[in-house]
């Protein structure tokens, strides 16, 4: 997946997904389709469908974006220093396709105190199988 070029992603993703996942744009706060989702299942990368987050780790942070206190597998995401917008933050990218997911903050709930703040556009949801 890492070797896919811009033309592939432009054909595969919607224009909004391309802006967020490939150009590091951000969803408008409080407008994401998955913000208030409370179904049981897993959240996957919208670009490559890698499994990233469990609904068990999703919570309402009040930030305006879907938030998780942990990933399913640490190897599923890469963390990068982000110095844009006159800030120093930690960017979260899908380790499989390198798509931009959101940012990691140290203001989350226990047990680890972390908040994975993720764009709804970067995610797809797969409900639990009965």
pLDDT tens digit at each of 130 positions of the chain: 667 888 999 999 999 999 999 999 999 999 999 999 999 999 999 999 999 999 999 999 999 999 999 999 999 999 999 999 899 999 999 999 999 999 999 998 877 899 999 999 999 999 988 6
Q: Which domain holds residue 105?
A: 6-127
Give domain status of residue 38, yes or no: yes
Catalytic, 45? Answer no
- Residue 90 belongs to a domain with what CATH number? 2.170.150.20
76 located within any domain: yes
What 3-state class would DSSP assign to 83?
Answer: coil
Cα separation, 51 vs 124, in Å, equals 9
Paired tokens of 87: 């800030």
Q: What distance in Å separates the CA atoms of residue 61 and residue 107, rounded to the nearest whole number? A: 9
Q: How many domains does the chain have?
A: 1
* pTM (whole model) above 0.85: yes
In a domain, 1, yes or no: no
Whether 81 is in a domain gets the answer: yes
Please identify which of the residues 45, 94, 97, 117 carries the catalytic annotation.
117
Helices (H), ranges, the chain: 6-12, 15-17
The DSSP H or E segment spanning 128 is: none
Residue 33 within any structural domain of the chain: yes
H helices present in 34-122, as ranges: none
């Amino acid at each position: 997946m890492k070797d896919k070029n811009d033309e592939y992603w432009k054909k595969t993703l919607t224009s909004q997904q391309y802006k967020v996942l490939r150009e590091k744009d951000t969803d408008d706060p409080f407008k994401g389709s998955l913000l208030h989702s409370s179904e049981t299942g897993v959240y996957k990368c919208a670009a490559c469908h890698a499994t990233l987050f469990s609904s068990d780790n999703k919570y309402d942070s009040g930030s305006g974006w879907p938030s998780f206190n942990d990933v399913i597998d640490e190897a599923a995401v890469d963390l990068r220093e982000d110095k844009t917008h006159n800030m120093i933050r930690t960017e979260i990218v899908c380790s499989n396709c390198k798509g931009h997911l959101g940012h990691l903050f140290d203001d989350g709930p226990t047990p680890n105190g972390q908040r994975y703040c993720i764009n709804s556009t970067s995610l797809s949801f797969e409900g639990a199988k009965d």
